[in-house]
Amino acid sequence: MNESIMPFAIFFASIFTGNILLTNYLGMCSFLSVSKELKTSLGLGAAVIFVMATTTPLNWLVYRYLLIPFGLDYLRFIAFIIVIAAFVQLTEMVIERYSEPLYQSLGIFLPLITVNCAILGASLFMVIREYTLFTSFLFGLGSGIGWFIAIIAMAGIRQKLKNAKVPPGLEGPGITLVIAGFMAMAFMGFSGMIALS
């Protein structure tokens, strides 16, 4: 593939063909528990986009300029987790102080996703796939948008589901997991669109 369009291919791939939630099944915990209502899903999804798009390049810097020079790349799990946790907490404090509406819609979800495995997953994929700083940012942004789309779709379905007759044994998490499975299969339809190594 042409080198110059590569970053954008990665961006779109991370949204659709390589959706972090539906193809890698990362970040399921909050996906299942918060997708009950569309409004809260919007807030959480936006928070995930923001945190992924910022922490992935941040971790790229930590990895490239702190861990690699000292040959410590095996410590990336610990380092990434610390960076993500501190960054998220800091952002929450700033938002809480300076923007009431933003705190209402996004801020209170930040602590929820500090330990979301999709966030750490994005940083680790960035390392495995040897992205550059710019591609890391696009990858993080794309993965966040992909997660956002998945949870919004799920919330929409679950709101409709309130009026549906679900067999008693399948109510709640059961039917949600079945739906997530169908959604994952649907997203597999995108798989041939962008070929990435």
Partner 1 sequence: MVITLLISIGIISLLSVFLAILMVIADATIGNYGTVKISINDGSKVLEVDGGQPLLRALNQEGVFIPSACGGRGSCGLCKVKVVSGGGDYLPTELPFISDEERKQLIRLSCQVKVKTDVAIVIPEELFLVKEFTTVVESIKDLTHDIKQVTLSLKDPTEISTKAGQYIQFVVPEYEDSDESVYRAYSMASPPGDSKHVELEIRLVPNGICTTYVHKHLKEGDEVIINGPYGEFYLRDTERNIIFIAGGSGMAPIKSMLLDMEKKGSTRKTTYFFGARSKRDLFLLDEMKALEKTIPNFTFVPALSEPQAEDKWEGEVGLITDVVRRMVSEGSNSEAYLCGSPGMIDACIKVLHELEVPPENVFYDKF
Which residues of the shown chain bind partner 1 in the complex (CB under 8 A)?
A: 39-40, 43, 62, 66-67, 70-72, 75, 78-79, 82-83, 86, 89-90, 93-94, 96-97, 100-101, 104, 108
Instruction: Identify which of 195, 167, 169, 150 has the alpha carbon closest to the alpha carbon of residue 44.
Output: 150
| Token pair listed for 59 | 């971790």
Torsion over CA: 61, 67, 71, 74 (sign): negative
* Least distance in angstroms from the C-beta of 168 to partner 1: 20
Closer to partner 1 by Cβ: residue 92 or 135: 92
Cα–Cα distance measured from residue 117 to residue 25, given in angstroms and rounded to the nearest whole number: 10
Least Å from the CB of residue 72 to partner 1: 5
The residue assigned the tokens 């809480």 is 96
Minimum CB distance to partner 1, residue 38 (Å): 12
Nearer to partner 1, 71 or 167 (CB): 71
* Nearer of residues 71 and 168 to partner 1, judged by Cβ: 71
**3-class state of residue 72 by DSSP:** coil
Beta carbon nearer to partner 1, 9 or 48: 48
**What is the 8-class DSSP label of residue 68?**
T
CB of 101 vs partner 1, minimal distance in Å: 8
Of 24 and 59, which has the nearer Cβ to partner 1?
Answer: 59
Per DSSP, which regions of 88-161 are E strands? none
Residue 40: which H helix or E strand, with range?
helix 38-62
Least distance from partner 1 to the Cβ atom of residue 66, Å? 6
